[in-house]
Structure 1
Amino acid sequence: MLHDQLIICLATVSWDFLWQRHQELMARFAHANNRVLFVEPLGVRLPKWEDRKRIAARLRNRQRAGKRGVRQVMENVWAVDPLVNPFQQVTFIHQSNVRAVTRQLENAIDQIGGGTPHIWTYVATPLARNVIAKIPHRLLVYDCVDALTENPKGVFAAYAESEKMLSREADVVFVTSPKLLERQLPLNPRTYFVRHGVEYEKFANDDLTEPAALAPIPHPRLLFFGSLDERVDLNLLEWLAARHAEWQIVLMGVARTDISALKKFRNVHFLGQIAHEDLPAYLHHCDIFLLSYVRNRWIEHANPVKLHECLAVGKPIIATPMPVLDEYRDVLCVADSREMYEQGIVDALREGENLTMMEKRRARARENTWDARFAEINAVLEPLLTRS
């Protein structure tokens, strides 16, 4: 197991954003007595107006970090949010960014004890690749969790070629879906499919108090949680809300797209972003979980982190199609049309509490804990560590 080392993680999310694979794995490396420098997003595209709240939050984090530039977010984990000029495609700006970010990371490394790091990256921009090249390191790991080139918001024009180069340069590549494996394996034979996990005991705990924010909302409660952005099929949710005033659709997460059409429905409830430690209580006091995504190439390569969290709770899941869900059809409903999606909800509500199905769902979640994923990753890294 990787222990007593320095790890630089180039992330695509801020540490304080929705808790997911980035934080789960880095927290476990930290528990193994590694020092982790968590580098918050360097950017994969030009910012847009809807990014303003996220940018404001990052500026507040920079203020908290103060002159040192780093802030400690948990034991053995420090976050740094480098200043980057967003116009990265301009050559001289790119070169300036590389020098500035490299200098900021070198300073941060010194502040947390120094050493030659392993680099674990979720991002493959030319900026990230060139910064990696400037920092002497041991292992280079590319943890590919999304097909960013298929993002409807777009990425920098050079991203696709830069990602191919990074994949070839990496000592190991991890991917989170079969479609990502198809993309990455031809570029690097040391590519491994490692699913997302779940903190099973936390999410399977049935003895959780109903959150105050849910109390005024009648049952049945249909829950979607996560970023409300271009990936979410908001038209489907609007259609369901219009047809079933008796269904209460609960939405939890940051809105990163126009959701005004949903706000006109009295049976649609926006609770905002919920802290990850509070999430299990909200899930346990809702009735059905909605995985409602648009069908495009971005989603075709996706694997929702929330999948095993929902399975651990044990309640019905109604999903729109995505390849990664095909092997889960025995424990959730995959609906190919909005009418089938509606019928899936009707059937789940009619079925009520099915203890046999609940246990079947939980059994699948128990097979996919974050600790199991972490052990799986370390088994791949172990021989590479000996070599490095």
Structure 2
Amino acid sequence: MCLSHLRWDFVWQRPQQLMSRLATDYEVWFFEEPQFDERPEPYLEVREVAGGITVLVPWLPQDLGEQRIISLQRQLLDGWLAQHHQAPLLLWYFTPMGLRFTRHLVGQVVVFDCMDELAALRHAPPALAELERQLLERADVVFTGGLSLWESRRERHDNVHLMPGSVDIAHFAHARLVQAEPADQADIGRPRLGFFGVLDEQLDLVLLRELAMRRPLWQIILIGPVARIDPASLPRQPNLHYLGPRDYQTLPAYLSGWDVALMPFAINESTRYISPTQPLEYLAGGRPVVSTPIHDVVECYADSGVVSIAATPQAFIEAIGLALDLTRQPARLQALADRALQGMSWDSTCERIKEQIASLRHAL
């Protein structure tokens, strides 16, 4: 039973990557945060998705108090388990908020997969930090999605393991081949600088604006949904192209048409502990990367020769220029990218996770 703050049909990232692989060994139920509509009675939406995963979405009446929302989620979850739960239950928390309606459940193994510093995100629930403290007391094992998260949690639990965000190398390697150009990108000029991911408070909008204004001939492509910020706050320049969210399966086709991949993250509290997977995805696609100095990116890739770190708009521009030069040396670019990718597949990360869970189950 996976408790997730991210919806299955949102951007394809860590929850989907791990659960789709764990589904080869487990029956996976993916319980999302509630949605609300005008129906007077709560109900549980159930749907099967690729890979045999069951997605469970609690739908609740509008205008409920917090305690009623919690009790109805518990009621819907208990009803599902009463009908379907037979084998030992493994509880997997991507969010401590799920603890509010699952305290009564007994898991053979309890996993806290700490993929982000959720309490630092905009509009984070006030109770989140305390719930994480309680979840750390209850969890049998803690996995972290990045080095910074591991460093911050290892003193708070005696069984913490770094399971970094990884990459589906075979999927993104399609970008190294000539792909049919997506229609909404085909008419955009070159050079193309691209980013895919969520457009939220973690992006440096000032940097994007400066980059677009100082280099009007460079075309900047941003793919992904807007979340937790006002879309009107996004900079608007003729060479900034917001293509919106795109299906995970189509990302290599877009990436294939880029010259340089960008990671224009802001340096603020919301990005202090992030460990983005984009560098690996971009490198698997054979593209050089330019990033702001996110701690985990600096620690993991600064010496790679294919990921450049730049802290100011001018430094960012200069780094992009060098990255464009590197694209004229394709053999060297691919060799550097492949070296940085060694041992960083989602398959290998998931195998390590399975080994940790198996050891806990055998110890019972």
Q: Is TM (by shorter chain) over 0.5? A: yes
Matched, 1:328 2:320: no
- Trace 1:91-110 onto structure 2 (pairs within 5 A): 93-110=65-82
Task: Letter of the 2:8 partner, please give it.
Answer: W
Match of 1:35 in 2: 27
Distance across 2 between alignment mates of 1:272 and 1:385: 43
Match of 2:46 in 1: 70
Match of 2:6 in 1: 13
SS in 2 for 1:214: helix
Match of 2:237 in 1: 265
Match of 2:206 in 1: 235
Q: 1:96 to 1:343 in 2, by over 3 A?
A: same
Match of 1:297 in 2: 269
* Residue number among 166, 169, 180 corresponding to 2:138 in the alignment: 169
- Trace 1:24-173 onto structure 2 (pairs within 5 A): 24-32=17-25, 34-41=26-33, 69-83=45-59, 93-110=65-82, 112=84, 114-125=86-97, 128-151=98-121, 153-173=122-142
Task: Letter of the 1:196 partner, please give it.
Answer: G
- TM-score relative to the length of structure 1: 0.85
Distance across 2 between alignment mates of 1:352 and 1:21: 29
Distance across 2 between alignment mates of 1:98 and 1:259: 31
* Residue number among 311, 331, 334 corresponding to 1:358 in the alignment: 334
- Given that 1:109 and 1:115 are in contact with CA atoms closer than 8 Å, whether structure 2 keeps it comes out as no
SS in 2 for 1:204: helix
- Given that 1:118 and 1:138 are in contact with CA atoms closer than 8 Å, whether structure 2 keeps it comes out as yes
- Trace 1:370-385 onto structure 2 (pairs within 5 A): 370-385=346-361
1:16 deviates by 0.5
- Trace 1:208-223 onto structure 2 (pairs within 5 A): 208-223=179-194
Count of paired positions = 355
Match of 2:171 in 1: 202
Distance across 2 between alignment mates of 1:161 and 1:120: 18
Distance across 1 between alignment mates of 2:13 and 2:82: 28
* Residue number among 276, 301, 309 corresponding to 2:248 in the alignment: 276
Match of 1:368 in 2: 344
Per-residue deviation, residues 155-175 of structure 1 (Å, max 9, x unmatched): 222221221111121000001
- Given that 2:43 and 2:59 are in contact with CA atoms closer than 8 Å, whether structure 1 keeps it comes out as no
- TM-score relative to the length of structure 2: 0.91
Distance across 2 between alignment mates of 1:67 and 1:335: 49
Task: Letter of the 1:328 partner, please give it.
Answer: Y
Q: 1:263 to 1:237 in 2, by over 3 A?
A: closer
* Residue number among 319, 335, 355 corresponding to 2:291 in the alignment: 319
1:67 deviates by 6.2
SS in 1 for 2:194: strand
Instruction: Report percent identity of matched pairs.
Output: 29
Task: Letter of the 1:123 partner, please give it.
Answer: T
